[in-house]
């Protein structure tokens, strides 16, 4: 097979940004484009209603309380103190402003972006006696700062020329250095909480989550690449590798662990709270930095998830030691998974799961935090919806991949629900109970950082044209640049094409191992790859004489075996 022919066959390796997603489907007609423009303006008004109310009633504190038009300093323990008890040197971290920076750029408001950058440069300080959550501060504050620094320097027309002198990067480095004492443990796994002024206190809890210590590499790695200081990336990578070494023989991880002993506390896990961004960051770190270690970890982890957690379109939780199901429940955070699957190229599986989440959204008007699949009811104590972005995120990715206007209708439904149920005079309020739509006095910063951003990009992706970005788990864009790549994977190198062609075993490889998009690729023997883990049987007739001639099932990711009658199937699981 000539290199040109093979190049045509490899339609999509691993998608590295929304700008590179498959555009083989015809663009929507003028009617849908007009609808997108109207919905874009509707989302723009939503963003500014939330942003303006924050700036009026809560700035420079962390987040807005829209019902009472007051504020909360939610990022740290200081959020539990009354105003008169706050330290004299604490004026708030302006969390929502930091989280809004990239959204302002995407909406085209360079004037407000510039004002925000210079206010933060002059007023934001981290030398305060405040105990903060490392994970949350990393994805929200550090991620917001490094992303905004990049946006402030990648175009000369965003800020007055010569006025920006890397102030946000200096702030980010100061914050990153205050993170480092958290990693000073026997295992290298960081504490979940740290005091910005005093470091880790003697009585600090040693319990953390898989996400909490395994989802730091994008922000801290970017900080190292921008500053030339390797300490940040090294600390995050050491923690990630230690965490991966704690996986079970099934390549599954638990949910919570002890950073001092390296022992698991909670063995049950899934793709939701406490674990979700661990999977996300393995793959996105591979995209951003090109390190093969990230790919190998993600490849094994993804196949394990598909094999042990997946049940039809849903994902339950399971014991990491046995793979046996533990909790049959949907959590709102799981809605990010279809978006990740789109990036992997597993579009068919992503669409299947996404449609189930859409069904739940339409049933309640929003998505409850936890829904019991085995009882078909909302969890009695987790009925809330805090304006989460994950379904909007997955909808955006699926529209980019397919150009199916149905996803525009999904986005429209979400916009209408948010305006109908959560919009109040003072901003957008969280839902305390999805069964009654009783509201809660809290507008989370991620509503501006992610929910509005992904809805806006669904209707207007101009920001992504001719650009390659990875979005962090908090929706902050980081550019994919050759300078940050360790090396291109061998499969991507044209000189290696003849090697790929000569290896007859490629017919028995999966889409993921070949870095192909299964939704848009057809192997040479004519069978469509149905999922990223699918390995076809050796023969189209499914006849076999040994197990080696049987592949991996596309739906369950389980290995097929040869029956006594000589046919491949899932006989061992019957």
Catalytic residue chosen out of the listed positions 136, 266, 501, 549: 136
Q: Which of 218, 250, 220 is nearest to 233 (CA)?
A: 220
For 49, residues 6+ apart whose C-beta sits below 8 A from its C-beta are 423, 427, 428
Whether 276 is catalytic is yes
Residue 491 is predicted with a pLDDT of 45
SS (H, E, C) 410-472: HHHHHHHHHHHHCEECCEECEEEECCCCEEECCECCHHHHHHHHHHHHHHCCHHHCCCCEEEC
Q: Which of 168, 273, 129 is nearest to 210 (CA)?
A: 273
Residue 520 is predicted with a pLDDT of 56
Catalytic residue chosen out of the listed positions 62, 112, 233, 276: 276
Measure the CA–CA gap between 199 and 201, rounded to whole angstroms: 6
Q: What are phi and psi of 343, to 5 degrees?
A: -65, -35
Is the separation of the CB atoms in 551 and 558 below 8 Å? no
Catalytic residue chosen out of the listed positions 390, 450, 474, 553: 390
Residue 217 is predicted with a pLDDT of 98
- 3-state DSSP call for residue 545? coil
Would you tell me the crossing angle of helices 406-421 and 390-402 to the nearest 10 degrees?
A: 160
Residue 556 is predicted with a pLDDT of 76
**Side-chain-side CA neighbours of residue 31 (13 Å):** 2
- 3-state DSSP call for residue 195? strand
- 3-state DSSP call for residue 260? coil
Is the separation of the CB atoms in 537 and 548 below 8 Å? no
How many helices (H) and strands (E) in the chain?
20, 22
Catalytic residue chosen out of the listed positions 233, 369, 440, 474: 369
Whether 369 is catalytic is yes
Residue 553 is predicted with a pLDDT of 83
Q: Answer whether the bond into residue 60 is a cis peptide, omega within 30°.
A: yes
Residue 73 is predicted with a pLDDT of 85
Is the separation of the CB atoms in 275 and 257 below 8 Å? no
Per-residue pLDDT of the chain (574 residues; tens, 9 = 90+): 333 333 333 333 334 344 444 444 445 578 889 999 999 999 999 999 999 999 999 999 999 999 999 999 877 654 433 334 445 555 568 999 999 999 999 999 999 999 999 999 999 999 999 999 999 999 999 999 999 999 999 876 788 878 899 999 999 999 999 999 999 999 999 999 999 999 999 999 999 999 999 999 999 999 999 999 999 999 999 999 999 999 999 999 999 999 999 999 999 999 999 999 999 999 999 999 999 999 999 999 999 999 999 999 999 999 999 999 999 999 999 999 999 999 999 999 999 999 999 999 999 999 999 999 888 899 999 999 999 999 999 999 999 999 999 999 999 999 999 999 999 999 999 999 999 999 999 999 999 999 999 999 999 999 999 899 999 999 999 999 988 987 554 444 433 333 333 344 344 677 777 776 675 555 444 555 667 778 888 888 888 888 888 988 877 778 888 887 788 888 765 4
Which residue ranges form the domains of the chain, and what is each CATH number? 36-484 (1.50.10.10), 545-573 (no CATH)
Would you tell me the crossing angle of helices 217-227 and 276-289 to the nearest 10 degrees?
A: 30
Residue 503 is predicted with a pLDDT of 40
Is the separation of the CB atoms in 236 and 218 below 8 Å? no
Please tell me whether the overall predicted TM-score, pTM, comes out greater than 0.85 for this model: yes
């Amino acid at each position: 097979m000539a290199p040109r022919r093979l190049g045509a066959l490899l339609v999509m390796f691993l998608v590295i940004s929304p700008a590179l997603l498959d555009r083989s489907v015809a663009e929507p007609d003028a009617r849908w484009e007009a609808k997108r423009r109207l919905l874009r303006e509707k989302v723009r008004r939503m963003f500014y209603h939330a942003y303006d109310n924050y700036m009026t009633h809560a700035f420079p504190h962390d987040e807005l309380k829209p019902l009472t038009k007051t504020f909360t300093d939610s990022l740290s323990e200081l959020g539990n103190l009354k105003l008169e008890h706050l330290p004299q040197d604490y004026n708030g971290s302006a969390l929502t402003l930091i989280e809004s920076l990239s959204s302002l750029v995407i909406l085209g408001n360079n004037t407000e972006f510039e004002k925000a950058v210079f206010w933060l440069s002059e007023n934001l300080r981290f030398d305060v006696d405040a105990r903060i959550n490392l994970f949350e501060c990393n994805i929200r504050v550090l991620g917001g700062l490094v992303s905004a620094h990049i946006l402030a320097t990648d175009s000369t027309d965003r800020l007055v020329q010569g006025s920006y002198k890397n102030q946000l990067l200096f702030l980010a480095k100061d914050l990153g250095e205050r993170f480092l004492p958290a990693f000073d443990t026997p295992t290298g796994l960081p504490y979940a909480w740290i005091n910005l002024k005093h470091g880790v206190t003697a009585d600090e809890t040693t319990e953390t989550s898989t996400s909490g210590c395994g989802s730091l590499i994008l922000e801290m790695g970017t900080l190292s690449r921008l500053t030339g200081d390797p300490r940040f990336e090294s600390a995050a990578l050491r923690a990630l590798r230690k965490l991966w070494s704690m996986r079970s023989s099934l390549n599954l991880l638990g949910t919570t662990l002890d950073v001092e002993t390296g022992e698991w506390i909670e063995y049950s896990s899934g793709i939701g709270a406490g674990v979700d961004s661990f999977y996300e960051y393995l793959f996105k770190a591979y995209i951003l930095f090109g390190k093969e270690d990230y790919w190998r970890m993600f490849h094994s982890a993804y196949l394990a998830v598909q094999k042990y957690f997946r049940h039809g379109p849903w994902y339950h939780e399971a014991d990491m030691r046995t793979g046996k199901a533990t909790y049959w429940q949907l959590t709102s955070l799981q809605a990010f998974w279809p978006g990740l699957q789109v990036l992997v190229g597993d579009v068919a599986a992503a669409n299947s799961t996404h449609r189930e989440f859409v069904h739940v959204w339409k049933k309640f008007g929003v998505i409850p935090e936890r829904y019991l699949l085995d009882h078909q009811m909302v969890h009695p104590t987790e009925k809330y919806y805090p304006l989460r972005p994950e379904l909007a995120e997955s909808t955006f990715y699926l529209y980019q991949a397919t150009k199916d206007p149905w996803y525009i209708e999904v986005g429209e439904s979400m916009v209408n629900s948010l305006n109908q149920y959560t919009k109040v005079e003072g901003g957008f309020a969280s839902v305390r109970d999805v069964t009654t739509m009783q509201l809660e006095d809290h507008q989370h910063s991620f509503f501006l950082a992610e929910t509005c951003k992904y809805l806006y990009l669904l209707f207007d992706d101009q920001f992504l044209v001719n650009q390659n970005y990875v979005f962090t788990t908090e929706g902050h864009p980081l550019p994919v640049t050759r300078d940050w790549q360790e090396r291109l994977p061998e499969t991507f190198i044209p000189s290696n094409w003849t090697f790929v062609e000569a290896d007859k075993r490629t017919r028995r490889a999966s889409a993921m191992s070949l870095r192909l998009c299964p939704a848009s690729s057809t192997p040479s023997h004519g069978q469509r790859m149905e999922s990223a883990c699918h390995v076809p049987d050796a023969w189209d007739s499914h006849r076999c004489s040994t197990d080696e001639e049987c592949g991996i099932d596309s739906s369950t990711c389980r290995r097929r075996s040869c029956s006594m009658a000589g046919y491949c199937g899932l006989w061992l699981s019957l």
